[in-house]
Every structure is written in C-alpha cells, then in structure tokens.
Copies of this chain bind each other. A is one copy, B any other.
C-alpha cells in the first residue's frame, strides 16, 4: 500500500461526519450538505453518524446541534468545512486538534486568490496532527457506496411558477471514479454517466490539492475493487514523477482517462486563478501521459464518451474494425474517422461477402451489392437481414470489433432494431459501439435500448469510432506496461565549473566524454601554442574564439568556418585575437574543430520541467531547428527502447532509418539519446543542455556545438 494513502479511507468510509457551521438558514452551503447527508441516512445508503456544529444553535430542525468538537458524542472522523475563509482556517485547525482523521475544506479564497500563507499554516497543522485534508476550494466528494456526499448542490429547484424541477441528476452506483479539479465539471460527468445508464464509483474534487492530490486519488482507486475506470479532469499535478509512477501501476488494472486543461497560455492563466495550479508545459504533460500509459481525452466530450465505452466494454481488442450500416453517408464518415484514428478498416473477404449475401433476401440488387468495409447494406435492407448480415461479418476472424450505424428512419427498419442488433452484438463476444442519429421519440428509445443492453451508443459516427479506437489503444497500453521511470537519481560529484551561468568548454568536453557522446576532433590553440598543433586535424576546420563567459560566439563574429589550409588557420587565429581585444574580453585561445559536412543535423536538448523534472527534447537541428520547430519531448531518463520511440515521434527521426542516401542510424541514435538523457538526472548542478547541431553522417554522430547551463537555484 502506498504510504501516501494513510488516512484517505476516512474520507470514503468514516464512522462519523461533522459538518461545521450548519444553521437554520437552509440556503447556506453547510446546511445543504448537512441535509443531503441526513437524506442519505434516511435512504439507508449512509451508515455514518452525522453531527452539525454551531455554537449559535442548540438544535437544527429536530436534531441536536453541537457548540464545538469537544461536545460531540464521539471523536470526529471526517469533518466538512464550508464556511467563509476567515473562519474556515480556524475550524480546520480545531478539527485536527480534536483528533479528526480527515477534513474536506470546501471554502475557496486561498492560494487561487493569491493567499498562500494561511494554506501553508493549515497544511503544517494537519501534518502535525496526522489529519488528511481535501481542498481547499473543492466540491468535496461523493461516494455512491458509503453514502458520503459533501456536494453543496440541491437536487431540485423551484421555478417562478412554484413548480419544483430536478436540477441535479443523482448518480447510479457503479464503477467510474471521477477525480476532478473542477467540482462543476465533475458533477457534469456524473450527470452524463447517469443519463447514459453508467454508474459512478465516486466523485472527488481535489481543488487546490494542498494535501490530498490527484496522484493520491489515482493510487487509491487503483486499489479499489469497486472501481473499474478512472476519469481525471486535470489542471496540474503536484508531484510529476509520482503521477507517472502511480498511474502506470494503475493502468495495468484499469484504464485511466485524463482530460488536461491549461494547454494554452489563456488556459494556464485560468488554471492559476481557478485552483492555483502551475500547469507547466503541455508538451511535457503529454510526454508524462505517454510514459504512464494513460489515455488523453482531447475534449470534455471525449472524456464522457470514453467513460461510457470503458465502463460498458471490458474486452481487450485489436484494431481491425468492421463498419456495418444501412446508410452509406454515415458509413463513409465512420470510415474516414477510423482511418484517421489509425484503425484497420480492411475490406470484407470474398467468402464472408458471400455469406453476407445469403442473409440479404429482399434487398434490392443484393447479388451485385459492392460489399466492402463500410459494409453498406443500403436503405432497402430490413431489420432481420441487417442484423444477420452484421453477425455473419463480425464473426469473421479478421475483425476484432465493430461500429454499427443503424438508420431507423428507412421504411424497411423496424423499431425492434435495437433489441435484435443489440443481442446480436452481445452474442458476438466482440466489442461494438453503435451510432444512432436523430432527435425523434423513436431515436431516443433506440439509443436508450442499446445503452440498457450495455452497448455504447453515440449520436455521431465519429464519436462511435473514436471510442473504439480508445478501446483498442488501451488494449495495447495494458499489454505493454512501460518501464517505470527512475525516481532517485544517482548524483555524480562534479565540480561546478561555471562562469556566468555557462559551463566551461573544458568541463563540457569532459561531460561529453563521460557520456560517450562524440565531438568533432579538435585542438585548443592558446596564445603560447604553436599552430602546428592543429596539423593532425583534417581540413576544412572551424575556429571558435574562447573567452570566459562568451556564450554566443557566432553573434559577435567569434566563429570562422571553412578554414581550408594552414594559411587560413593562421589568419583566423589573428582575426579572433584582434576580435577579443576589440571586444575588450580576455583571449583564452582558439578552439579548432574539424568540420562535419553533408550530414543530417539534429537538435538534442535536456531541461528541467518544474513539475516533472528532467526532460529530453529531440528534433531537427542547425538552421532547420527554427524552420521546422517540431520537437518530441520525453521524461528523462530513457532506456534505449524509449529513446527509439522518441525518435520515431519526430519527422526527422522517423526518416532517419530510410533516408535517401543517408545513414541507417535509428538504433545508434537511440543509444546516444539514452546516454544523453541520464545527464540531467545524474548531475543536479546542470540546468539544461543543448546539442545543436548533432550531426549524423555515415560515420556516426558528432556533437558539433554543446551548450551547458548551470542550475540557477
């Protein structure tokens, strides 16, 4: 069991719940929460005792109200605080002193409003007393099994006509755990699941994540046998490395779907004022999602669709998709989407097509129907033929799953299509989703009938197909668990040799040697040395001015390229000496390097992300670095396999293997990247490194320019 999970159980299965600040004013949040809990006790779903706390009232309704924690009939276990910020901090501290094991701090106005000091005081007090804290600035939690429910929402509202209408759909019991930094969006997911007949395991709002984090909750639900799908709305994680660790462990047992907010600057600003989340670099988050094997939803709708799909379809599945339809247009849209999603839309084989034709009695020109994939049975197909043909095709061993698009609007299709097609799909044993379009009464009935049978039903072909693509993706993710990234880095003792933030060329050279990253052959010509020292180098040569702290050599004219012979070398050294004196900087000497030409130029970089730590970046280098601006990012360190994956994510790396006339260097590149990726993990004094260009030729890799920046902290 994860040691970070101590006390978490008290949120979900407390013996008692104390609600602070309950009053007779029923519109106050505390009062709403209190009455929701009482309702759950009456319904029998909540076993825990519920106590209202308020020094100003002796009773609330017919039940006694308590002035303070000491007067409670038993020691508090879970405490709910939803009173204004100015009083809330004291209430949390008091509950910790009174021995509470867990507190939900619903109140906002802390770090997200710029006030970090009271938050840190609360955290210190909770830690000292061994109390866990959810929030602040959260909707709290709802557990459909234990009946704990701190959501401050009323389930009905009164219209101006006086009529009460349902304003919040209550969840069904089920397997989807929703972990969310937005209470509102969490509640919406819960309503959508209900509308699709999918049950909720629990809803947890982590808010500002002062103590309990998204990582904690993923770890908790990974070990919860009632939970079979974990859905996460994420603004920012607290501990990047731990996120990868707990998520990758959980993914082996159940799918994790993440919808990440704060992809853009505008979104990141919004996250900061919403839950005080530092969202960091979205590319790094995506790298972390890949490393952990979580499935990223690209929109809120996708998060909902994937919850529906994963909670209904438990089978593993390959990527070979059958599309069966009686409407050619919808089938074509599905085929487009499937191919864009990387699914395998292989055609029906002849033998299968013949079997299908046998099912098509009564279909216009069934004998000449061009049966492909999509298998378009046309608007003339009747219900029975449609169902039988779909069953026969899906039974073919070369299909792993199906998307069926039954158009109930055609005259030939009867309303029992959902029942008959649904049973057929269930009997096939293969996963399938359906797309039921339209807004009529019959459309709703058919949609609902599929859902009732446990078949995910979507209103557009694209959503039906993408959901199956996610299912197939998860089958791969759980089959190939990623190696865990190393959390503790061995630290080399390396003397800092920095001058004004940059590492000296000598130290840089030693570092490259240590990690076996080849550089072009070079010599250093100092003021005293003889030019003849460069004689064993092969022309043409590059000459670079060395001076303490001079980083941007090119910008000041400190680099002379294409030196063709000894005469040229002499005049280059003289020029660079003169440059140093005109710039009034110290002349340390000239770095003379063999030039590497006619290779592919890469950029290989490493930096420290504030959330996830060391990362590695690979992309096109040299002058194309700025032209192409497409990099692949991964969390460091990488083993050779992971480094190879990274390289196939870049256009330049993808082509390296089969590049016209170029070297077949994919594997060697992976080894270089893997060694390189360890540098930041093992050398805490280094802030970032950029090799640009790293030139690939038939002879190997050559790090022509390397710039190492010291860690500033």
Whether B461 and A300, one on each chain, are in contact in the complex, defined by CB atoms closer than 8 angstroms, is yes
Question: What residue in chain B is nearest A347 (Cβ atoms)?
Answer: B269
Q: Pick the residue among B233, B462, B626 that contacts A300 (CB under 8 A).
A: B462
A336 touches B267 (CB 8 A): yes
Complex: A437 Cα to B303 Cα, angstroms: 14
Is A262 an interface residue, CB under 8 A from the partner?
Answer: yes
Interface string of A652-669 (1 = CB under 8 A from B): 100100011110000000
Interface string of A425-444 (1 = CB under 8 A from B): 00000000000011111110
Do A409 and B265 form a contact, CB below 8 Å, given A182-B330, A300-B460?
Answer: no
- Check A165 for interface membership: any CB of B closer than 8 A: yes
Q: Which of these binds chain B: A188-196, A240-248, A670-678?
A: A188-196
In the complex with contacts A191-B439, A275-B328, A374-B270, A409-B335 CB distance below 8 A = no
Does A266 lie within 8 Å of B345, measured CB to CB? yes
Q: How far is the CB of A304 from chain B (nearest CB, A)?
A: 9
Check if A411 sits within 8 Å of B160, measured CB to CB: no
Q: Is the pair A365, B651 in contact by a Cβ cutoff of 8 Å? A: no
Chain B residues, Cβ within 8 Å of A415: 157-160, 165, 167
Partner of A301, one of B85, B374, B460: B460
Minimum distance in angstroms from A462 CB to a CB of chain B: 5
Segment 358-391 of A: residues with Cβ below 8 Å from B: 364-365, 368-370, 372-374, 376, 378-379
* A579, CB-defined interface residue at 8 Å: no
CB-CB contacts below 8 Å: A222-270 with B: 233, 235, 261-267, 269-270
Residue contact B182 to A327, C-beta cutoff 8 Å = yes
A187: chain B residues within 8 A (beta carbon): 409, 438
Chain B residues with CB under 8 Å of A410's CB are 153, 184
Determine the residue in chain B with the shortest Cβ distance to A193. Answer: B439
Residue A181 interfacial (CB < 8 Å): yes
Interface residues of A in 478-516 (CB under 8 A from B): none
Cβ–Cβ < 8 Å partners of A659 in chain B: 623, 626-627
When the two chains form the complex, which single residue of B273, B331, B414, B462 contacts A299, counting CB atoms closer than 8 Å?
B462
Give the complex CA separation of A270 and B348 in angstroms.
13
**Chain A residues with a Cβ closer than 8 Å to the other chain, count:** 112
Q: Are A165 and B445 in touch, CB under 8 angstroms?
A: yes
Given contacts A184-B379, A415-B158, A655-B627, contact A331 B409 (CB under 8 A): no
Chain B nearest CB: distance from A71 CB in Å? 29
- A79 adjacent to chain B (CB < 8 Å): no
Given contact pairs A266-B335, A372-B270, A440-B167, A183 touches B153 in the complex (Cβ within 8 A) = no
Indicate if A624 sits at the interface (CB-CB under 8 A).
Answer: yes
A6, B329: Cα distance in complex, Å? 29
B113 in contact with A332 (CB, 8 Å) = no
A440 touches B329 (CB 8 A): no
Closest residue of chain B to A442 (Cβ to Cβ) is B167
Instruction: Answer whether residue A407 sits at the interface, using C-beta atoms and an 8 A cutoff.
Output: yes
Contact residues in B for A183 (Cβ distance below 8 Å): 329, 379
Cβ contact within 8 Å between B627 and A442? no
A2 to chain B, nearest CB (A): 27
The proximity string for A residues 462-490 relative to B, scoring 1 for CB distances below 8 Å and 0 otherwise, is 11000000000000000000000000000
Instruction: Tell me whether A408 and B340 are in contact in the complex, defined as CB-CB below 8 angstroms, given that A299-B462, A659-B627 are known contacts.
Output: no
- Residue A67 CB within 8 A of the other chain: no
Q: Does A124 contact B (CB under 8 A)?
A: no
Is A331 a contact partner of B274 (Cβ separation < 8 A)? Answer: yes
Contact at A365–B85, with CB atoms within 8 Å? yes
- A442–B166 CB distance below 8 A: yes
Interface pair A411/B627, CB less than 8 Å apart: no
For A299-339 the 0/1 string (1 means CB < 8 A from B) is 11100000000000000000000000001111111011011
> Contact check: which of B169, B235, B265, B460 meets A438 at CB < 8 Å?
B169
A411 touches B300 (CB 8 A): no
The answer to whether A339 touches B266, judged by C-beta atoms less than 8 angstroms apart, is yes
Q: Is the CB of A273 within 8 A of B114?
A: no
CB of A607 closer than 8 Å to a CB of B? no
Contact in complex: B411, A154 (CB < 8 Å): yes
Contact partner of A624 (CB less than 8 A), chosen from B265, B269, B378, B624, is B624
Residues from chain B with a CB closer than 8 A to the CB of A182 are 327-330, 332
CB distance from A621 to the nearest CB of B (A): 12
List residues of chain B with CB within 8 A of the CB of A655.
Answer: 626-627
Contact B376 A327 (CB under 8 A): no
Residue A629 interfacial (CB < 8 Å)? yes
Query: What's the least CB distance linking A472 to chain B, in Å?
Result: 16
For the complex, what is the distance from the CA of A116 to the CA of B347, rounded to whole Å? Answer: 23
**Per-residue 0/1 for A524-558: is the Cβ within 8 Å of any B Cβ (1 yes, 0 no)?**
00000000000000000000000000000000000
Which B residues are in CB contact (< 8 Å) with A159?
415
**Besides the known contacts A158-B415, A191-B437, 14 further A-B residue pairs in the complex with CB atoms under 8 A apart:** A32-B411, A85-B364, A114-B368, A166-B442, A167-B442, A167-B443, A191-B443, A194-B439, A266-B336, A266-B345, A267-B336, A270-B372, A623-B661, A628-B651
Q: List 19 A-B contacts (CB under 8 A).
A: A109-B368, A114-B368, A153-B410, A157-B414, A157-B442, A165-B440, A167-B415, A169-B439, A183-B329, A184-B437, A192-B439, A194-B439, A235-B332, A263-B340, A266-B373, A301-B463, A626-B659, A627-B652, A629-B651
Which of A's residues lie within 8 Å of B, judged by CB? Answer: 27, 29, 32, 84-85, 108-109, 112-114, 152-154, 157-160, 165-169, 180-185, 187-188, 191-192, 194-195, 233, 235, 261-267, 269-271, 273-275, 299-301, 327-333, 335-336, 338-340, 345, 347, 364-365, 368-370, 372-374, 376, 378-379, 407-411, 414-416, 437-443, 445, 460-463, 600, 620, 623-624, 626-629, 651-652, 655, 659-662
